[in-house]
Amino acid sequence: MRKFPFLHLILFLLTFLSTLAVGALNAGVNIFDDPGMIYKGLPFSATLLVILLAHEFSHFLSSRRHHIHATLPYFIPAPTLFGTLGAFIKMKSPIQTKNALMDIGASGPIAGFLVSLVATTVGLFFSKVVPVTKTAGMISLGDSLLFSGLTRLILGEVPANYDVLLHPVAFAGWIGFFVTALNLIPVGQLDGGHILYALIGERHAKLSKVLIGVMIVLGLAVWEGWLVWAMLLVILGFRHPPIIYADVPLDSRRRLIGWAAVIIFILTFIPVPITIVGELG
């Protein structure tokens, strides 16, 4: 008899509360003085959690389809800009083929990306173009190729000395793109690492080292956060666990899925994700 997943449920509820609080704070609510108004964080929280659920349950269902024992998602609540550090599942049995590895590795990012695409598109229609005087001292979010293109398509060209004030749903979509890109970095045992290993096999480790070097250069040149991410990936390791039937080739459909994931990574990658807009004097 299966045990009730108390830990998974508790972590999910805590993540719901932490993202709800962040959404309310971004909506201008002082949740300590007026806790009853915390519900105003619901558009952000619900959207972000749907994105994360789509990502993790796609991994989970794909694992089950290939007879891989995997846990339910563990959500990570955190008092951060986003209210969470994401979620993850643990696979408890080895993966047998490259096709299975591709399905499991690519399904989560692609599902999360599609939900993020819908959220961003809808949210941008409710976002506003405002003078930069209204965003001084606030956190400024960097643009990926896709986010920038959608913004231009929906809101038009943003004039000089103006900025986009994102609707909470669009903000959650931006986070979804950012999380997708982080997961698709083709290093180690990230989703992108699974995809890369399925595509090129043991050469994966050498390319992972090169990409870590690229992240260090980016960390020194454009955004210090890449240094932290590079150190974390070094600690987690470059190598990928071997699959059982490594001689069974990747079929053409899975190869196309892998290259589609590479394109999604390029479209959603943000060189400088976060900066602080200085006060105007």
- Yes or no: say if 164 and 127 are a contact pair by the CB < 8 Å rule: yes
Q: Name the one residue in this structure whose structure tokens are 């972590």.
A: 11
Question: What is d(CA 144, CA 126) in angstroms, rounded to the nearest whole number?
Answer: 20
> Residue 175 is part of which domain span?
6-274
279 within some domain: no
Task: Provide the pairing of β-strand 74-77 with 139-141.
Answer: unpaired
Q: How many domains does the chain have?
A: 1
Question: What is d(CA 200, CA 215) in angstroms, rounded to the nearest whole number?
Answer: 21
CA distances from 211 to 45, 205, 230 (A): 33, 10, 9
75 within some domain: yes
The pLDDT, as a whole number, for residue 280 is 44
Q: Give the contacts of 263 (CB within 8 A, at least 6 positions apart).
A: none
User: 79: buried, middle or exposed (CB in 10 Å: 19+, 13-18, 0-12)?
Assistant: exposed
The pLDDT, as a whole number, for residue 135 is 66
Element (H, E) at 276: strand 274-276
Cα-only R_g, the chain = 20
210 within some domain: yes
Q: Give the contacts of 231 (CB within 8 A, at least 6 positions apart).
A: none
Q: Give the contacts of 256 (CB within 8 A, at least 6 positions apart).
A: none
Q: Phi, psi (5° rounding) for residue 75? A: -85, 150
The pLDDT, as a whole number, for residue 137 is 63
1 within some domain: no
- How would you write the pLDDT of the chain (281 residues) with one tens digit per residue? 568 899 999 999 999 999 999 999 999 999 989 999 999 999 999 999 999 999 999 999 999 999 999 999 999 999 889 999 999 999 989 999 999 999 999 999 999 999 999 999 999 999 999 998 776 667 889 999 999 999 999 999 999 889 999 999 999 999 999 999 999 999 988 999 999 999 998 888 888 899 999 999 999 999 999 999 999 999 988 888 889 998 999 999 999 999 999 999 999 999 999 986 654 44
3-state secondary structure of 88: strand
280 within some domain: no
231 within some domain: yes
153 within some domain: yes
Element (H, E) at 85: strand 84-88
281 within some domain: no
CA distances from 152 to 167, 171, 279 (A): 16, 16, 26
